[in-house]
Amino acid sequence: MQSNIRRRLSGGLAFAIVVGCLLLIAVVAPARGGDDAGTAVWPQWRGPTRDGKVTGPAWPGSLAGDRIKPQWRVELGDGYSSPIVGIDRVFSVETRGEEEIVRALDRKSGKSLWEARWKGSMKVPFFAARNGSWVRATPAWDGTSLFVPGMRDVLVCLNGADGSQRWRVDFMERYKTPLPAFGFVSSPLVLGDDLYVQAGGSFLKLNKLTGETTWRTLADEGGMAGSAFSSPMFARLAGKPQLVVQTRARLAGVAPETGQVLWSRDIPSFQGMAIVNPTIEGDNVFTASYGGGSFLFTVANDAANGQDAWQAREIWKTAMQGYMSSPMVIDGYVYLQRRDNHISCVELKTGREMWKSPKGFGDYWSMAANGPMILALDQRGELFLLRADPQKMDILDHRKICDAETWGHITVCANEIFIRELNAMTCYRWQETQTDLKKN
């Protein structure tokens, strides 16, 4: 889905048109890439539209072994990074010893196509160390190049055809910044010829063809722990295209063409643990931090006499804390894994908690949604099928999918599911039936 647009335009209307076209080509199209496995792709963190939502064939009404069958399984080194799926190949990243390794696997068979590696391991501190110090961030794929964050604050651009290196940026060297305590955690965002990353203790726009910096903003906000946990999102708020980013200290809207911070709000948290992705609904932005609570802001531009006057007004806040799992918003309700590992449903408009799960789950829940249906992968290796319902937690089925931990985000492409186990990746496939179509 690589964009052929190379000419840079500036100005409000022209820029908005270009960005809209780029998003249609590079982001929306993969989500609607067809109903058949092999045409739908998962090119970046949290999927085609970066919010975990997909379109395509109805999901199975059951997770039974005779409905969802493994197609192939490949042993890998340790990793948090989620699978990236192209038309004919799947990419994975792992830590093995002192090296970080990127692999390209054949989508149909799991056969190795190529691998690239570099020295890049490190040790993370505090409570995070109990879960390992392996690579954390998820690459981005534009159909030609793979942009891979390495733990030691490097970004490597690889040729997706053969794994050869196109360019490499060492952010510590470029900006004389310290090694982030938890490594490079945020996942990059590609829009057209531009690449947005939260690295080097800042938020950066790079030329994806060369790795050169276009602008740098929100610098030196990492405190003792370094660069952000959260990943940037594209949005149109109050009629203006912008990047919504969450640093270790605040939530902000940034102009893509200039790097100007349009608005920002402080987000309290314990030791900068603002981990979840900001969630965009209309002109509203939802976030939830560890140690801080949950927040909904509405973004407005009260322009007068041709001068912008941006603000992010707080609509509500609650004591309910987020954890590591980014939420899912369906039909005006937020489905969120909390700090206490319970799942809650919250009315987005008011912040009212509709229900809380009677029991807790694992330390991480990754979710993908197709209409009202949610597939959730628990860190303990269990897969759940839910129907989004503001009245109750409606678990339709669940299945132990593997014995290993599953920290990588669940990846769903048409009738294929890619599960990144701690030391392996497995591709599963189902065939939808008329019963599934009626249920969905």
pLDDT value at residue 371? 95
Q: Which of 159, 222, 153 is nearest to 185 (CA)?
A: 153
Record the tokens describing residue 426, joined without a space. Answer: 């497995």
**Whether the Cβ atoms of residue 232 and residue 189 lie closer than 8 Å to each other:** yes
What ranges do the domains of the chain cover? 12-439
Q: Give the type of residue at 225.
A: A
User: What's 12-439's CATH class?
Assistant: mainly beta
Please state, in angstroms and rounded to a whole number, the distance separating the CA atoms of residues 407 and 416.
19
Q: Point out which residues pair with 244 in neighbouring strands.
A: 233, 253
- Residues 328-352: b if buried by 16+ CB within 10 A, e if exposed: bbbeebbbbbbbebbbbbbebeebe
Please state, in angstroms and rounded to a whole number, the distance separating the CA atoms of residues 147 and 159.
9
For residue 224, give the 3-state DSSP assignment: helix
Record the tokens describing residue 282, joined without a space. Answer: 């209309």
Helix (H) or strand (E) holding 294: strand 293-301
Tell me the HSE value of 366 on the side-chain side, using a 13 A CA sphere. 26
Please state, in angstroms and rounded to a whole number, the distance separating the CA atoms of residues 295 and 200.
27
Q: Which of 217, 221, 193, 192 is nearest to 204 (CA)?
A: 217
pLDDT value at residue 24? 38
Record the tokens describing residue 310, joined without a space. Answer: 């941006």
Q: Point out which residues pair with 253 in neighbouring strands.
A: 244, 263
pLDDT value at residue 30? 37
Q: What is the pLDDT along the chain (440 residues), one digit of tens a residue?
A: 434 333 333 344 344 434 444 443 343 333 333 456 558 999 999 999 999 999 988 898 899 988 999 999 999 999 999 999 999 999 999 999 999 999 999 999 999 999 999 999 888 887 777 778 889 999 999 999 999 999 999 999 999 999 999 999 999 999 999 999 899 999 999 999 999 999 999 999 999 999 999 999 999 765 545 689 999 999 999 999 999 999 999 999 999 999 999 999 999 999 888 999 999 999 999 999 999 999 999 999 998 777 889 999 999 999 999 999 999 999 999 999 999 999 999 999 999 999 999 999 999 999 999 999 999 999 999 999 999 999 999 999 999 999 999 999 999 999 999 999 999 999 999 976 545 545 54
Helix, strand, coil shares of the chain, percent, nearest 5, are 10, 45, 50
Q: How many CB atoms lie within 10 A of CB 213?
A: 17
User: For 26-64, how does the pLDDT look when each residue is reduced to its tens digit (9 = 90+)?
Assistant: 433 333 334 565 589 999 999 999 999 999 888 988 999
pTM for this model (two decimals): 0.90
Q: Give the type of residue at 344.
A: S
**Whether the Cβ atoms of residue 187 and residue 148 lie closer than 8 Å to each other:** no
Q: What is the DSSP letter of 168?
A: E
Mean pLDDT, the chain, rounded, equals: 89
Please state, in angstroms and rounded to a whole number, the distance separating the CA atoms of residues 384 and 402.
13
